[in-house]
């Protein structure tokens, strides 16, 4: 088990080093910072001096090591477009994205498990058929079209919910939250549904297949023979064993929720890091792109690692075999 953990941690570090390298090469290959900083009337001496100051005359490996050191401290320099510290901009935008991701993750998990159980237990009911068909359509619809559709129905036609922005937010010093105001909560509804819908259908389908598999097992039949109530069989015996793979997939989906937030945030003009990133791509704002890449890869790698270790803790079979995929 220890060997497994060490291998996973080493793999995570490798991923971070590679993404760090990608981020670093974006700085080196896309545009020359010296060209940007010095005006038209420059001498070769000026260029050399600035290169020395910025450390650009150092060997590649030294520059890379320096970049990693700076990145680890959260220092990515100034945004080309806004002229402010990239880390400050990110810190200001992050709460919006995390709140959105949190709510849609909750929605995806709750809705996914709920509908999954429902469609697994009442396999031939009308409601399950309707839900299954809708989920097929939901998977085929691109995220941004779902967002536009929701805006059209609930903002344009019905006028119930706002179509853009975060509403009023409460400033807690280091964190801004939209949870505490009515307009903030209202603004959250449509983006959260848009972002969570795809993950919800994924989780729902997973729970459904797993649950149907488990319900066929002998111990469930035995529980029925013992005369236990249907509800107790479904929830105490079957659901518990269904949840192991669900936790893994959900954990991994958390990462893609943050990535797909880029699309949702653009549709709803939600002031989070995703919108910041897409604007950075449009205007080729390299420091912001690099910082976002590093931030999101730390998140992804961390989530993957935690999920893997969690899997180990939950499923005792893995500890005995010492290998993943025990069944």
Partner 1 sequence: MSDHQIEIETRRTPGRLARAWNGDLAYSFRHSPVAMISAFMVALLVLSAVFAPWIAPHNPFDPGSLNLMNGFTPPGEPNAFTGEVFLLGTDDQGRDVFSTILYGMRISLLVGFSAVMLAMVIGVVLGLLAGYLGGWIESVIMRIADIQLTFPAILVAMLIFGVAKGITPPEYRDQMAIYVLILAIGLSDWVQFARVVRGATLVEKNREYVEAARLVGRRPFSIMIRHILPNALNAVLVIATISLALAIIAEATLSFLGVGAPPTKPSLGTLIRIGQGYMFSGEWWILLFPALTLLALALSINLLGDWLRDALNPRLR
Q: Which residues pair with residue 211 across a beta bridge?
A: none
Q: Of 94, 141, 243, 309, which one interacts with partner 1 (CB under 8 A)?
A: 141
Gyration radius of the chain's alpha carbons: 25
Q: Quick check: 132 binds partner 1 (CB under 8 A)?
A: no
User: Most distant CA pair in the chain: distance in Å?
Assistant: 91
Q: How far is the CB of 110 from partner 1 (least distance, A)?
A: 23
Cβ-proximal residues to 65 (8 Å cutoff; 6+ apart), any chain: none
Q: Given candidates 278, 298, 309, 310, which one binds partner 1 under the rule CB under 8 A?
A: 278
User: Which of residues 89 and 117 has its CB atom nearest to partner 1 in the complex?
Assistant: 89
Q: How many angstroms separate the CA atoms of 246 and 318, rounded? A: 16
| Whether 204 contacts 119, CB under 8 Å | yes
List strand residue ranges (DSSP E) for 172-310, in order: 176-177
Q: Is 84 left (phi over 0), alpha (psi -120 to 50) or beta?
A: beta
Q: How many residues bind partner 1 (CB under 8 A)?
A: 43
In the three-class reduction of DSSP (H, G, I as helix; E, B as strand; rest coil), residue 181 is classed as: coil
The residue from 1, 14, 130, 217 that contacts partner 1 (CB under 8 A) is: 14
Residue 218 per-residue DSSP state: H
Does 76 bind partner 1 (CB under 8 A)? Our answer is no
11-19, 34-42, 52-60, 231-239 -> range binding partner 1 (CB under 8 A): 11-19
Q: Hey, how many other C-beta atoms are within 10 angstroms of the C-beta on 33? A: 17
> Could you give the string, one character per residue 31-50, with x where binding to partner 1 holds by CB under 8 A and - elsewhere?
x-------------------
Q: Which stretch binds partner 1 (CB under 8 A): 2-10, 22-30, 104-112, 177-185?
A: 22-30
Structure tokens at 279: 């604007």
Residue 195 found at the interface with partner 1 (CB under 8 A):
no
- With CB under 8 A as the contact rule, the residue among 86, 89, 96, 151 that binds partner 1 is 151
Q: Does 142 bind partner 1 (CB under 8 A)?
A: yes
Residues 286-325 that bind partner 1 (CB under 8 A): 286, 289, 293, 296-297, 300-301, 304
């Amino acid at each position: 088990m220890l060997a497994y953990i060490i291998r996973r941690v080493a793999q995570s570090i490798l991923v971070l080093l590679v993404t760090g390298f990608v981020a670093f090469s974006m700085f080196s290959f896309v545009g020359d910072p010296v060209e940007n900083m010095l005006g038209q009337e420059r001498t070769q001496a000026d260029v050399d001096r600035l290169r020395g100051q910025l450390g650009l005359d150092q060997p590649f490996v030294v520059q890379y090591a320096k970049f990693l050191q700076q990145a680890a401290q959260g220092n990515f320099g100034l945004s080309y477009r806004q002229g402010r510290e990239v880390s400050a901009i990110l810190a200001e935008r992050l709460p919006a994205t995390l709140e959105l991701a949190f709510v849609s993750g909750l929605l995806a998990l709750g809705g996914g498990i709920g509908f999954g159980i429902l469609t697994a237990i009442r396999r031939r009911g009308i409601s399950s058929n309707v839900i299954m068909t809708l989920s097929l359509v939901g998977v085929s619809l691109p995220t941004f079209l779902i967002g536009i559709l929701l805006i059209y129905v609930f903002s344009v036609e019905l006028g119930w919910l706002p179509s853009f922005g975060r509403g009023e937010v409460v400033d807690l010093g280091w964190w801004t939250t939209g949870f505490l105001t009515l307009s903030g909560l209202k603004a959250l509804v449509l983006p959260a549904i848009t972002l969570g819908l795809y993950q919800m259908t994924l989780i729902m389908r997973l729970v459904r297949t797993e649950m149907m598999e488990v319900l066929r097992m002998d111990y469930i039949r035995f529980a029925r023979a013992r005369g236990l109530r249907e509800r107790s069989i479904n929830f105490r015996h079957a659901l518990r064993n269904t949840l192991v793979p669900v936790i893994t997939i959900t954990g991994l989906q958390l990462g893609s929720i943050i990535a797909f937030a880029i699309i949702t945030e653009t549709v709803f003009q939600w002031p989070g890091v995703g919108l910041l990133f897409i604007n950075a791509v449009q205007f080729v704002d390299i420091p912001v792109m690099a910082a976002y890449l590093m931030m999101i890869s730390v998140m992804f790698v961390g989530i993957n690692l935690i999920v893997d270790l969690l899997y180990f803790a939950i499923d005792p079979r893995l500890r005995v075999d010492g290998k993943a995929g025990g069944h």
